[in-house]
Amino acid sequence: MQVWKRCEMKIFANNLRLFWQGTVLSYVALFAWFRPVTYAASKVLMPLAQIIFFTYLGSYATGKDSVDFYVIGNAIQITAVSGIFGVTFSISGDRWNGTLPYLFGTPANRMMMFFGRAFMHIIDGALGVVIALTWGALLFGVDFSQTNLSALGLTILVTTISTCGLGLLMGCLSLITANVMFVNNTVYFLLLIFSGANVALDTLPPWMQTFSQVLPLTRGIASARTLISGGSFAEVAPLLISEIGIGLLYGWLGYLLFKWFEIQAKRNGSLETV
């Protein structure tokens, strides 16, 4: 019994180490060539510019009272920069840099390897949302005085995790298509419409509303708006449960695709060519 437990602990420790190493190394590999200024341009100024553009565009039509709607929607949607682009590049990077055969040649736990790719982007994405909301408060006067900040923090974390779930699925698609930039950019911009970041969902045609409900971000944005306008955690809890469920489902689908890709690539001898 003791030996069995020690063995289990060792496997657990090894998996944890693998998860952490995969997390750190994939993130460093993605951003190593970046200078802080490039990071600032992508993570601070680009989100700011997006928020300003859509907030002015929206308030041009509906007046200044609606500023909060656009600032919060776009600030939360910013998590997709890390969730979609960051996670996808972390996975597809192994293909483009020729390290995929080595990864698939190891006996390492695939689940740890796969989900480890998203971990740093969850932290990074959540930080991006905090920066974006800070811009919203400083430039557009978004008021957080009525906000349950810990619930908002949880909302940001949950939404980032669910968006990274979609990113994991997109990352696997990048293993089977060369048009990864096209797919990523298209998904990112479609989220601007379907997540309700810029258009109230009840004003969209029914088929678009239905589609919105199967996407990450939709409930996270609704939850953040409710909390910032003074809503309680109990009001948003069902939204957050659905949001994390959707994210985990996408992540799981991504993992299945990742496994399928490995089996097919080994069977067809197409690991480097698919």
Partner 1 sequence: MKFKNLIVYWRTVLMVAEITLRHQWNDSFILFAIIVQPMIIAILALFMLRGLGGDYAMYVVVGSGLTGLWSSLLFISGNSINNERREGTLESLVAVPTPFEVIVFGKNLANVVQSLISMSSSYLLAALFFGYTLKMVSPLLFVGSVLISIFAFISFGLVIAPLFIIYRGIQQWQNAMEFPVYILAGFLFPIALLPAWTTPVSYVLPPYWAARALHETSTGAGDVEKVIFAWGMMLLFSVIDLFLASKLFKYMLYKARVDASLETV
Query: Rounded to a whole number, what is the distance in angstroms from the first to the last CA of the chain?
Result: 46
* Closest listed residue to residue 109, CA positions, set 4, 5, 22: 22
Backbone angle region of 204, left / alpha / beta, with phi > 0 → left and psi within -120 to 50 → alpha = beta
Q: Number of residues in contact with partner 1, rule: CB under 8 A?
A: 32
The CB-of-261 to partner 1 minimum distance in angstroms stands at 21
- Specify whether the CB–CB gap between 129 and 77 falls below 8 A: no
Q: What one-character DSSP code corresponds to residue 215?
A: S
Closest distance of CB 76 from partner 1, Å? 16
Instruction: Write the DSSP assignment of 102-131 as a string of letters.
Output: HHHHS---HHHHHHHHHHHHHHHHHHHHHH
Cβ distance to partner 1 smaller for residue 189 or 260: 189
Q: Of 158 and 170, which has the nearer Cβ to partner 1?
A: 170
Of the ranges 100-108, 117-125, 176-184, 264-272, which one interacts with partner 1 (CB under 8 A)? 176-184
Q: To the nearest whole angstrom, how small is the minimum distance from the Cβ of residue 209 to partner 1?
A: 12
Question: Least distance to partner 1 from the beta carbon of 171, Å?
Answer: 17
Assess 134 for contact with partner 1 (CB under 8 A).
no
Identify the residue among 21, 42, 134, 242 touching partner 1 (CB under 8 A).
42
Among 8, 13, 16, 38, binds partner 1 (CB under 8 A): 38
- Please state the closest distance from residue 35 (CB atom) to partner 1, in A: 7
Task: Give the three-class secondary structure for 51.
Answer: helix
What track of x and - describes contact with partner 1 for positions 188 through 217 (by CB under 8 A)?
-xx-xx----xx---xx-------------
Q: Which residue has 């994405």 as its token pair?
A: 125
The whole-angstrom separation of Cα 40 and Cα 166 is: 24
Q: Give the dihedral sign, CA 256/159/216/23.
A: negative
Residues of this chain that bind partner 1 (CB under 8 A): 35, 37-38, 41-42, 45-46, 49-50, 52-54, 56-62, 179, 181-182, 185-186, 189-190, 192-193, 198-199, 203-204
